[in-house]
C-alpha cells in the first residue's frame, strides 16, 4: 500500500485540520453569544493497520466535537443568578417606597405638624373663625397627604401586578421553548448519537432565563430531556410537554391576584405564594406580600391612630353651638374578607372602639379560623401567634380589635382581617363647618360669690370612658351637663346635689385639698380652705366661645404617646413616632436589600466568571488554535504534495 | 487560569457601573447638600430626624402660643394699670369727702365725679382684646361680663381661665376671670365688717377693727346693744342662724363703754369712738365678697345722703361709710395689684420660656443639621477619590481591551 497510505493519512490530517479550523471559527463567531459554550474538537488516531513490521498508523479522525460544559458550575450560576434577580427586583421595588418617603418635606410628617399647629392656634383663640377654618384646611391637607401616599402604594401595587403578569407570561413561554428543545435534542441525539451542542446551549440558556424569573429545579432524564419543576414541586416541563402558570383572584382577599397552576384537566390549583421563591417573580411576590402590604398597614395605622384618638377626644368637647363634639374624622372600619372557599355563610366583623384599642393596634393582618362548635382561632400574620377562643369570640379586644360574627360558619372557614389597610385611604375630615370644631369642654365650674372660704374650684374635665353613657352620644355621660352643687356642710365635708334631678347624689364626702371629685362623668378639684356653707357649682358651659380646653388637650395629643401599646399595656409612641418607626423600617429594609443584592450580584458575577473561565471563549486561545490548525493543514498539504511527488517518481519508473 | 474574553468586558463594565453609581451618589449629595438622599442611606438617623423635626416644629408653635399669651396678658396688664390708678383716685376723693369743712353740695359734686369713675371702671372691666373678646369674661368670650342692673353691677360670665400651652409641659393662663379680679373683694377689713345701725341717734362711730388671731374667728355675727350711753350688751348669732342669749345676763352688770377703748371679741379687736345714745346698735359681721363696683356705688350713695346733723357737722353715719369705703377700696386695690403681680410673673416666665425655647430651637436645628446635612469636606474629597479611581479604571479597561493576539497575525 505504501504511497497511497501516505496520501490517505494526509487526507485525514487535512480533514481534521479543517474541522479544527471550522470549530475555531465557530468559537470566534460565538465569542459574544450568551450561553454559548466553547467547543473543542476531539481527535483520535485511526485504528492502526497490522503489517509484518508492526502496526502502522492510519492517520487521524475526529471522533466528536465537545462543548466545554460543567453541570456543577452551571448549576451554581443558575441558583446564584436566580437569587440575585430576586434581590435586585425586591430592591428596585422597595426603592420606590424609599424614594417616596425620602424627602422629609413632602412626607406625612410636615402635614401632621401643620395640622397640630393649627389645632394649637384654635386653642389659643377658640372663637376665631379663621383659626378654625385653618384647622379644617390643614386637616384636609393632612388627609390629602395620607391619601396620595396611599395612592402611591396602590400605583406601585398595580405596576407590580403588571410585572407579575409579564413574568408569568415569560415563564410560560420559556417552558414551551424548553419542551420544544427537549423534543429536538432527544430526536437528534437518537439519530446521530452525537451531542447537539448548540441546541444544548440554547436549552441551558432558556433554563437560565427561566431561573431569573423564578427558581426552577432541573432533573436530567436518561434520553437527554430536562424535566423542570417550580414552587413546591409543580412540574413546568416534562419531556416534550409543558405546563403553565396563571393569575387568579386570591381566595382570601378579593383585590389580590395569586399565581396559580393550570392543571392538565383545565382546573387550576392554588400554589402557596411563599413557595414561589427566587427570580423576578419571587422578588415581586415577596415585595408585594410583605413590604408593600405592611407599609400600607403601617401608614394606615398612623392615619387610623390620628383619626381614632382625636375622634375620641373631640367627642368629649363642645362646639360653638353648645353641642357635644361629633367625630372630627370619618371613622375607618377594619377590612374583613371571608375566604371564597368558605363552606358556611357566617360573616365576621371587626371594630376598634376606644383610644386604648387604637393604641393597641399592631399593623399586622390577622386570619380568623372557625374550628367548629364555639371555637375560633386567631392567627396574627406578622409572627403567626395563635390565640384560641374556645367559647366563642371574646368581648374583650385582642390587639385593639373586637370581633362579632353571624351564625352559619362551618368548621374550617377562614376570614382575613386587615385592620389598618384602609386607614390612609379613608382618612377624611368628618366636619366641614368650622363652628362644629369642639374646642371647648361641655362643663365649667364656679365658686359662689357668697363663699366665705378661700377655696377655689378647677374648671373640670370630662371622664372617659363614661360609666353611664348617653345613648345619643356614647362618648359622654348621660348626666354630664346637669347642674350640680357641691355644698360644704362643714369645713371638712360636703354634700353633692344634682339640681336637675333634684336629688342629693352624695352625702358628707370628706374634703381633701386638691383631690379629684368625680360625678356625672366629670372630674374637678377643689383646693384651698373652704368654709362651712360654701357652695361650688358645676354645670353646662354655655356660650363658652373663649374656652379652648378641649383643643388644648387635642393639641397635646401630638406629642403624647398614643400608639404602640402591647395588648392592655401602656402606649409607647406618638403618631410621629409610629410614622418614624415605619420610615426607619423601610430605610433599614432598603439598606439591607441594597447590601444583600449587591453582594448577591457580585457573587453571581463571580460564579459566571468561574463558569465562563471554563466554558467561555478566549480569543487569544482561538487565535493560537487558528495558527495551530493552519500549520497542521499546511503540514498535511505538504505531506500530500510529497506523496504526490512519490507517485510521480513511481510513474516515471514505468516510462 | 483561563479567562473568557467576554468576561473581561462584562467584569469591567460591571465595575465601571458600580463606580459610576457611587460617584453619582456623592454627586447628588453635594448637589442637594443632604447626607441622606433616602432613608436607606441612614435609617436610624432619618427616623430621629423626623422626631427632631417634630420637636423643632412644636417648639416653634409654642413660641406662637407664647406670643398670643403675651399679647392678651399685656392687654390685661394695661387695663389693670388704669384700674389701679382709678381706685387710687377714688380713695383720694373719699379722703377729701371726709373733710369736715365740706358742705353737702361739695360732697354731692364729689359723688358725681365718683359716678363718672364708676362708669369708667365698668368700661375698663368690660375691655375687649383686638378680636372683640372680652378680657375678663372667663370662657364666655362674647358675653359682656359686667352689666349694670337694678341690683347694681352683676357679673354675667364665669370663673373660667383660658389656658394656653406655652412650654412643652407648661400650660399658662392667658386670662383672669372678672369675678376674681373685680368681684371677689372681701368687704370690711377682709375678715369682718363693722357697721353702725342707720337708725342710731348718737354720735359714736365704729372703726374697722383688727384681727388679732385668725384661728379664733368664729364666723358669727356680733351685735352691740347700747342700753345706756355708757354700757352695752353683746348678742352672738352663729353662722348656722342660732341666736345665743345676750351677754352679760342679768343680774351681771352690762359691759362698760369707754370711747376708743378696744373691745375684744373672739380673734378680733374693735373700737367705738364718740358718744352713743341709748338704743344705738353696732354689728360685726364676717366679711363677704362685695366687689369694687358695690363699694364705689355705696360710697356714692353715702355722699349723696343728706346729713341729718346739718351741713356743718360730719355725721357718724358718713364717717362709718367713708371708713368702710376706704377699706373696701384698699382691699380692691390689693386684689387688682395681686392680679397685676400674677400677670407680671407670667410675663416674666414667658420671657424666660422664650429664651429657653430659642436655645432649644437652636439645638434642634443643630441636631437636625448633624443628622441630615452633608460634610462637604468629606464629600468633596470622596468625589475626587471616586473620580480618580473611575478615570483609572476606564484607562486600564481600554488598555486591557486592546490586547489581542489578532494584532500580531
Q: Which residue of A has its CA nearest to B44?
A: A584
C-alpha cell read off for A568: 392592655
User: Using CB atoms and an 8 Å cut-off, which of residues 111-150 of chain B contact chain A?
Assistant: 131, 133-134, 137-143
Average pLDDT of span B343-352? 93
Task: Give tens-digit pLDDT for A435-473.
Answer: 999 999 999 999 988 888 888 999 889 988 888 888 888
A109, A121, A623 ranked by CB distance to B53: nearest: A109
Residues of chain A in contact with residue B134, where contact means CB-CB under 8 angstroms, are 546
pLDDT greater than 70 at residue A75: yes
Residues of chain A in contact with residue B65, where contact means CB-CB under 8 angstroms, are 120, 123-124
Q: Which of A341-350, A645-654, B114-123 has the lowest mean pLDDT?
A: A645-654
pLDDT at A82: 94
C-alpha cell read off for A482: 346637669
Residues of chain A in contact with residue B4, where contact means CB-CB under 8 angstroms, are 38, 609, 612-613, 615-618
State whether residue B219 sits within 8 Å of chain A by CB.
yes
Tell me if B405 and A614 make a contact (CB, 8 A cut-off).
Answer: no
Domain ranges, ordered by start, for chain B: 53-186+329-360, 192-287
Which of these, B393, B394, B391, lies nearest to B383 by C-alpha position?
A: B391
Tell me if B405 and A624 make a contact (CB, 8 A cut-off).
Answer: yes
Give me the interface pTM, i.e. the ipTM.
Answer: 0.84
**Average pLDDT along chain A:** 90
A112, A576, A620 ranked by CB distance to B404: nearest: A620
A445, A558, A581 ranked by CB distance to B58: nearest: A558
Shortest alpha-carbon distance between residue B115 and chain A (Å): 24
Q: Under a CB-based contact definition with an 8 Å cutoff, are residues A256 and A158 in contact?
A: no
Provide DSSP, B37-76. Answer: SSGGG-HHHHHHHHHHHHHHHHHHHHHHHHHHHHHHHHHH
pLDDT at B310: 61
State whether residue A445 sits within 8 Å of chain B by CB.
yes
Task: Establish, for the pair of chains A and B, how many residue pairs have beta carbons separated by less than 8 Å.
Answer: 231
| CA–CA dist B347, B71 (Å, integer) | 10
Tell me if A104 and B164 make a contact (CB, 8 A cut-off).
Answer: no
Shortest alpha-carbon distance between residue A297 and chain B (Å): 18
A125, A449, A552 ranked by CB distance to B163: nearest: A552
A32, A577, A616 ranked by CB distance to B51: nearest: A577
State whether residue A533 sits within 8 Å of chain B by CB.
yes
A125, A614, A617 ranked by CB distance to B5: nearest: A617
State whether residue A84 sits within 8 Å of chain B by CB.
no
Which of these, A293, A295, A278, lies nearest to A89 by C-alpha position?
A: A278
E-assigned strand segments in A373-447? 375-380, 385-389, 402-405, 414-418, 443-447
Shortest alpha-carbon distance between residue A476 and chain B (Å): 21
3-state DSSP assignment of residue A336: strand
Q: How confident is the model at residue A170 (pLDDT cuts 50, 70, 90)?
A: very high
Q: Is A484 left (phi over 0), alpha (psi -120 to 50) or beta?
A: beta
State whether residue A99 sits within 8 Å of chain B by CB.
yes
Q: Which residue of B has its CA nearest to A577?
A: B51
3-state DSSP assignment of residue B212: coil
Tell me if A452 and B372 make a contact (CB, 8 A cut-off).
Answer: no
State whether residue B184 sits within 8 Å of chain A by CB.
yes
Which of these, B90, B115, B111, lies nearest to B307 by C-alpha position?
A: B111
Sequence length of chain B is 409
Average pLDDT of span B242-246? 86
| CA–CA dist B255, B25 (Å, integer) | 103
Q: Is the peptide bond before B33 cis (omega within 30 degrees of 0)?
A: no
Task: Give tens-digit pLDDT for B358-383.
Answer: 999 999 999 999 988 999 999 999 99
Average pLDDT of span B398-409? 87
Average pLDDT of span A75-97? 93
pLDDT at B74: 92
Element (H, E) at A119: helix A109-124
State whether residue A104 sits within 8 Å of chain B by CB.
yes
pLDDT at B312: 47
How far does chain A reach from its first CA to its final CA, in angstroms?
21
pLDDT at B314: 56
Domain ranges, ordered by start, for chain A: 3-68+640-653, 344-351+364-418, 443-540
Tell me if B219 and A104 make a contact (CB, 8 A cut-off).
Answer: no
Instruction: Among A531, A544, A557, A575, pick the best mutation site for testing chain B contact (most B Cβ within 10 A).
Output: A544
Residues of chain B in contact with residue A110, where contact means CB-CB under 8 angstroms, are 53, 57
Task: Give tens-digit pLDDT for B160-209.
Answer: 888 999 988 889 998 888 998 998 888 888 888 888 887 788 888 888 88
Tell me if A127 and B141 make a contact (CB, 8 A cut-off).
Answer: yes
How far does chain B reach from its first CA to its final CA, in angstroms?
23
State whether residue B37 sits within 8 Å of chain A by CB.
yes
Residues of chain B in contact with residue A626, where contact means CB-CB under 8 angstroms, are 409
Query: According to the 3-state scheme, what is the secondary structure of B182-228?
Result: HHCCECCCCCEEEEECCCCCCCCEECCCEECCHHHCCCCEEEEEEEE
State whether residue A587 sits within 8 Å of chain B by CB.
yes
Measure Cα distances from B236 to B220, B244, B248 in Å: 6, 6, 12
Average pLDDT of span A535-556? 92
| CA–CA dist B344, B176 (Å, integer) | 13
User: Using CB atoms and an 8 Å cut-off, which of residues 161-180 of chain B contact chain A?
Assistant: 161-165, 168, 171, 174-175, 179
pLDDT greater than 90 at residue A566: no
pLDDT greater than 70 at residue B78: yes
Tell me if A104 and B46 make a contact (CB, 8 A cut-off).
Answer: yes
pLDDT greater than 50 at residue A408: yes
pLDDT greater than 50 at residue B336: yes
pLDDT greater than 90 at residue A180: yes
User: Using CB atoms and an 8 Å cut-off, which of residues 302-321 of chain B contact chain A?
Assistant: none
Tell me if B53 and A113 make a contact (CB, 8 A cut-off).
Answer: yes
Q: Which residue of B has its CA nearest to A591?
A: B40
Average pLDDT of span A592-602? 93
State whether residue B61 sits within 8 Å of chain A by CB.
yes
Task: Give tens-digit pLDDT for A275-327.
Answer: 888 999 999 999 999 999 999 999 999 999 999 999 999 999 999 999 999 99
Residues of chain B in contact with residue A117, where contact means CB-CB under 8 angstroms, are 57, 61, 64
**What is chain A's alpha carbon radius of gyration, rounded to the nearest angstrom?**
41
Share of chain A above pLDDT 90, in %: 63
Tell me if A120 and B139 make a contact (CB, 8 A cut-off).
Answer: no
Instruction: Among A546, A557, A621, pick the best mutation site for testing chain B contact (most B Cβ within 10 A).
Output: A546
pLDDT at A2: 66
Q: Which residue of B has its CA nearest to A38?
A: B4
pLDDT greater than 60 at residue B20: yes
| CA–CA dist B83, B232 (Å, integer) | 42
Provide DSSP, A440-479. Answer: B-SEEEEE-TT--S--EE---EE-SS-SSEETTEEEEETT
Tell me if B133 and A547 make a contact (CB, 8 A cut-off).
Answer: no
CATH class of B53-186+329-360: mainly alpha
Q: Under a CB-based contact definition with an 8 Å cutoff, are residues B89 and B387 in contact?
A: no
Amino acid at each position: 500500500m505504501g504511497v497511497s497510505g501516505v496520501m490517505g493519512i494526509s487526507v485525514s490530517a487535512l480533514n481534521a485540520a479543517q474541522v479544527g479550523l471550522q470549530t475555531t471559527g465557530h468559537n470566534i463567531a460565538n465569542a459574544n453569544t450568551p450561553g454559548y459554550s466553547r467547543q473543542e474538537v476531539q481527535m483520535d488516531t485511526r485504528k492502526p493497520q497490522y503489517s509484518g513490521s508492526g502496526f502502522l498508523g492510519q492517520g487521524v479522525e475526529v471522533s466528536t466535537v465537545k462543548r466545554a460544559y460543567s453541570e456543577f458550575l452551571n448549576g451554581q450560576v443558575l441558583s446564584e443568578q436566580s437569587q440575585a434577580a430576586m434581590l435586585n427586583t425586591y430592591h428596585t421595588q422597595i426603592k420606590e417606597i424609599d424614594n417616596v418617603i425620602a424627602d422629609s418635606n413632602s412626607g406625612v410628617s410636615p402635614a401632621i405638624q401643620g395640622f397640630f399647629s393649627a389645632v394649637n392656634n384654635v386653642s389659643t383663640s377658640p372663637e376665631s373663625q379663621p383659626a378654625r377654618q385653618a384647622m379644617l384646611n390643614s386637616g384636609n391637607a393632612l388627609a390629602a397627604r395620607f391619601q396620595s401616599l396611599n395612592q402611591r402604594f396602590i400605583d406601585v401595587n398595580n405596576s407590580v401586578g403588571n410585572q407579575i403578569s409579564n413574568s408569568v407570561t415569560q415563564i410560560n413561554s420559556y417552558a414551551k421553548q424548553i419542551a420544544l428543545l427537549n423534543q429536538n435534542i432527544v430526536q437528534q441525539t437518537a439519530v446521530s448519537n452525537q451531542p447537539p451542542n448548540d441546541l444544548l446551549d440554547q436549552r441551558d440558556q432558556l433554563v437560565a432565563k427561566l431561573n431569573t424569573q423564578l427558581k426552577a429545579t432541573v432533573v436530567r432524564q436518561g434520553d437527554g430531556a430536562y424535566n423542570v419543576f417550580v414552587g413546591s414541586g409543580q412540574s413546568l416541563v416534562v419531556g416534550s410537554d409543558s405546563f403553565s402558570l396563571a393569575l387568579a383572584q386570591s381566595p382570601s382577599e378579593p383585590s389580590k391576584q395569586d399565581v396559580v397552576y393550570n392543571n392538565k384537566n383545565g382546573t387550576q390549583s392554588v400554589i402557596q405564594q411563599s413557595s414561589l421563591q427566587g427570580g423576578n417573580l419571587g422578588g415581586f411576590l415577596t415585595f408585594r406580600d410583605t413590604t408593600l402590604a405592611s407599609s400600607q398597614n403601617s401608614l394606615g395605622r398612623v392615619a387610623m391612630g390620628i383619626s381614632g384618638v382625636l375622634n375620641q377626644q373631640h367627642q368629649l368637647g363642645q362646639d360653638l353651638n353648645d353641642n357635644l363634639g361629633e367625630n372630627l374624622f370619618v371613622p375607618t372600619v377594619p377590612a374583613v374578607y371571608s375566604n371564597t372557599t368558605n363552606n358556611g355563610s357566617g360573616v365576621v366583623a371587626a371594630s376598634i372602639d376606644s383610644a386604648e384599642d387604637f393604641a393597641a393596634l399592631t399593623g399586622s393582618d390577622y386570619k380568623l379560623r372557625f374550628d367548629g362548635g364555639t371555637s375560633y382561632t386567631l392567627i396574627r400574620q406578622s409572627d403567626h401567634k395563635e390565640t384560641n377562643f374556645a367559647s366563642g369570640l371574646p368581648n374583650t379586644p385582642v390587639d385593639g380589635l373586637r370581633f362579632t360574627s353571624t351564625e352559619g360558619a362551618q368548621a374550617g372557614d377562614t376570614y382575613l382581617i386587615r385592620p389598618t389597610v384602609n386607614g390612609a385611604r379613608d382618612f377624611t375630615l368628618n366636619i366641614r363647618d368650622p363652628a362644629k370644631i369642639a374646642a371647648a369642654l361641655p362643663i365649667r365650674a364656679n365658686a359662689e360669690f357668697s363663699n366665705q372660704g378661700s377655696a377655689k374650684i378647677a374648671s373640670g374635665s370630662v371622664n372617659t370612658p363614661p360609666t353611664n353613657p348617653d345613648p345619643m352620644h356614647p362618648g359622654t355621660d348621660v348626666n354630664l351637663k346637669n347642674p350640680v352643687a357641691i355644698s360644704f356642710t362643714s369645713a371638712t365635708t360636703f354634700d353633692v346635689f344634682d339640681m336637675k334631678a333634684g336629688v342629693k347624689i352624695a352625702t358628707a364626702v370628706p374634703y381633701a385639698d386638691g383631690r379629684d371629685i368625680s360625678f356625672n362623668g366629670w372630674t374637678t378639684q377643689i383646693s384651698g380652705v373652704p368654709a362651712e356653707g360654701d357652695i361650688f357649682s358645676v354645670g353646662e358651659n354655655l356660650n363658652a366661645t373663649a374656652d379652648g380646653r378641649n383643643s388644648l388637650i387635642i393639641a397635646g395629643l401630638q406629642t403624647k404617646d398614643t400608639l404602640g401599646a402591647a395588648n392592655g399595656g401602656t402606649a409607647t409612641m406618638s403618631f410621629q413616632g409610629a410614622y418614624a418607626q415605619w420610615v426607619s423600617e423601610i430605610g433599614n429594609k432598603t439598606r439591607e436589600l441594597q447590601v444583600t443584592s449587591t453582594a448577591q450580584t457580585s457573587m453571581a458575577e463571580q460564579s459566571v466568571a468561574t463558569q465562563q473561565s471554563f466554558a467561555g471563549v478566549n480569543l487569544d486561545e482561538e487565535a493560537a488554535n487558528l495558527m495551530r490548525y493552519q500549520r497542521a493543514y499546511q503540514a498535511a498539504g505538504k505531506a500530500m504534495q510529497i506523496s504526490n511527488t512519490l507517485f510521480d517518481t513511481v510513474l516515471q519508473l514505468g516510462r | 487560569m483561563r479567562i473568557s474574553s467576554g468576561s473581561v468586558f462584562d467584569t469591567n463594565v460591571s465595575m465601571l457601573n458600580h463606580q459610576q453609581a457611587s460617584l453619582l451618589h456623592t454627586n447628588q449629595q453635594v448637589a442637594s447638600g443632604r447626607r441622606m438622599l433616602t432613608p436607606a442611606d441612614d435609617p436610624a438617623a432619618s427616623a430621629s430626624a423626623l422626631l427632631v423635626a417634630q420637636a423643632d416644629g412644636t417648639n416653634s408653635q409654642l413660641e406662637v402660643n407664647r406670643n398670643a399669651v403675651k399679647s392678651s396678658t399685656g392687654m390685661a396688664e394695661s387695663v389693670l394699670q388704669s384700674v389701679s390708678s382709678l381706685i387710687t383716685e377714688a380713695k383720694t376723693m373719699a379722703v377729701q369727702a371726709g373733710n369736715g369743712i365740706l358742705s353737702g353740695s361739695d360732697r354731692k359734686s364729689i359723688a358725681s365725679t365718683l359716678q363718672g369713675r364708676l362708669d369708667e371702671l365698668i368700661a375698663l372691666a368690660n375691655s375687649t382684646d383686638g378680636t372683640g373678646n372680652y378680657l375678663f369674661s372667663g370662657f364666655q368670650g362674647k358675653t359682656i361680663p359686667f352689666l349694670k342692673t337694678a341690683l347694681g353691677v352683676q357679673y354675667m360670665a364665669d370663673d373660667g381661665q383660658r389656658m394656653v400651652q406655652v412650654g412643652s409641659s407648661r400650660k399658662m393662663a392667658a386670662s383672669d376671670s372678672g369675678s376674681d379680679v373685680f368681684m371677689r373683694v372681701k368687704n370690711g377689713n377682709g375678715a369682718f365688717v363693722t357697721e353702725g345701725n342707720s337708725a342710731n341717734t348718737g354720735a359714736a362711730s365704729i372703726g374697722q377693727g383688727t384681727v388679732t388671731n385668725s384661728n379664733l374667728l368664729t364666723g358669727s355675727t356680733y351685735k352691740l346693744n347700747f342700753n345706756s350711753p355708757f354700757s352695752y350688751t353683746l348678742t352672738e348669732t352663729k353662722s348656722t342662724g342660732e341666736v345665743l342669749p345676750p351677754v352679760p345676763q342679768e343680774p351681771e352688770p352690762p359691759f362698760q363703754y369707754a370711747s376708743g377703748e378696744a373691745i375684744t371679741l373672739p380673734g378680733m379687736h374693735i373700737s367705738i369712738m364718740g358718744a352713743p345714745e341709748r338704743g344705738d346698735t353696732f354689728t360685726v359681721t364676717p366679711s363677704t365678697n362685695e366687689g369694687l363696683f358695690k363699694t364705689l356705688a355705696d360710697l356714692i350713695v353715702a355722699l349723696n345722703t343728706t346729713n341729718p346733723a346739718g351741713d356743718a357737722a360730719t355725721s357718724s353715719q358718713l364717717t362709718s361709710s367713708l371708713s368702710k369705703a376706704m377699706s373696701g377700696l384698699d382691699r380692691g386695690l390689693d386684689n387688682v395689684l395681686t392680679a397685676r403681680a400674677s400677670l407680671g410673673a407670667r410675663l416674666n416666665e414667658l420671657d424666660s420660656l422664650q429664651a429657653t425655647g430659642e436655645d432649644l430651637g437652636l439645638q434642634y436645628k443643630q441636631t437636625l443639621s448633624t443628622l441630615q446635612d452633608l460634610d462637604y469636606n468629606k464629600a468633596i474629597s470622596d468625589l475626587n477619590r471616586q473620580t480618580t479611581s473611575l478615570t483609572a479604571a476606564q484607562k486600564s479597561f481600554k488598555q486591557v481591551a486592546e490586547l489581542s493576539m489578532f494584532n500580531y497575525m
